[in-house]
Amino acid sequence: MYNLQLETFIVVADLGSFNKAAEALYITPPAVTKQINLLEKDLGLTLFVRTHRGLTLTEAGKSLYKDAKYIIQYCKESVERARKAMQEKDNVIRIGTSPMTPAAPLVQAWSKVQKQYPDIKLQMIPYMNSQESAREILKNLGSNIDVVAGIFDETMLKLRQCAGLELSRQRICCAVSVNHRLAEKDTLTFQDLYGENFLMMHRGWSNYVDELRDDIWKNHHQIHVVDFDIYSVDIFNQCENSNDILMVVENWKDVHPLLKVIPVEWKYTIPYGVLYSPEPSDLVKRFLKAIQKAV
């Protein structure tokens, strides 16, 4: 919206040196000099007095410096106002959904308060779980996807560079193949897992999961813990095909039709809620406030 050479001009004026400006802008001194020369040529003005002691602004330079700061700030505010206007017009919350981050629980909660916020609409954005997609989507919430519903803790939020609003605590359960010997049970105990491979997310992913891991390591060494790196359809298929037992949460009971999710007689839970940008838009803030009323 404005000549980007103005930004270079501001930096040079502030620092009084082409070399210092180049360091601040991460470009070479000749590139800075070229930009200033072109700006002076295009405007037909001499902006700096060049001496061996450095640079000082001419009267024309001082006048442009004052106005350029205003122009740049006004343009930035103009773009922000345009973005807000577009957002207010659409009023759409884009919810990322995948087999491991189903949107259904969030949509069910929203249905309880939807009538109070008739202007807010929901849009489902499907994606597939992978190391790369999880990292990029959660790091860039607010760009293509506004919120994701899922399990989390502070460790995971720091790792993925996002924020979280806890809505409930999900019981940590076990998933087994419908043909597994334990599939006929309605609840399990630690002892039911003895002699079995128990698939768990690796240490450091969640403090809540690590508490369970430590309990198993200290008191139930008959359980063989097998680490994996990310929840995906592949790990659910592995559980079904290998007859291993997979650590899951209650909300995942419908992820795989050939697996049964069974609660366990232990105390372990993990926070479940909404993941969003650390700097959410006003619309997302309204949505989060509304969701809190529903739970």
What's the pLDDT score for residue 166? Answer: 93
Residues 6+ apart with CB under 8 A from 166: 271, 272, 273
Angle between helices 29-43 and 5-15 (to 10 degrees): 110
CA pair distance 130, 146, nearest whole angstrom: 19
**Residue written as tokens 């989060």?**
288
| Predicted model pTM | 0.63
Kindly give the confidence (pLDDT) of every residue in the chain, 295 residues in length, as a single tens digit, with 9 standing for 90 and above. 667 888 899 999 999 999 999 998 888 999 999 999 999 999 999 999 998 888 999 999 999 998 888 888 878 877 777 776 665 556 889 999 887 888 888 888 899 988 898 889 998 988 877 767 777 888 889 888 999 999 998 888 888 889 999 998 999 999 999 999 999 999 999 999 999 999 999 998 899 999 999 999 999 999 999 999 888 888 999 999 998 999 999 888 888 899 999 999 999 999 999 999 999 999 999 999 999 888 7
- Taking CA 53 as the corner, what is the angle to CA 51 and CA 59, rounded to the nearest 5 degrees? 55
> What are residue 28's phi and psi, to 5 degrees?
-85, 155
**200 close to 226: Cβ distance less than 8 angstroms:** yes
Residue indicated by tokens 């807010």: 120
Between CA 269 and CA 172 the distance in angstroms is: 5
